[in-house]
Structure 1
């Protein structure tokens, strides 16, 4: 049995959210099991999205919802 993979992602902005999403969809997650912790300094996630940066991008709108 393989040891589950534990990952810490620093920053819950777009890059952190995308990284977590890509990891969860990867084969490593399906076969090994992954535990992801997102760490964010601000009281709310999503980084610059909170301030309206690129709000018209479809992928970013999907993250917010």
Structure 2
């Protein structure tokens, strides 16, 4: 269940990392249960892929600038 962000509650980040991926979920405590905050869940799959691509371009720009990049989806 997703909840709207409550400015009166402390944000809690749940972080996951493996050898090939990283992720984080923004949550808040609701009666002892960490529930994810409602992000823009109305994005299409293609829009989510674009967001992921923009994120990696931002994080890795020093390795990718000026290079041809192939993107597989």
Q: TM-score, normalising length from structure 2? A: 0.26
The structure that has the greater radius of gyration is 2
Higher helix fraction: Structure 1 or Structure 2?
Answer: 1
Structure with more contact order per residue of length (Cα contacts < 8 Å, sep ≥ 6): 1
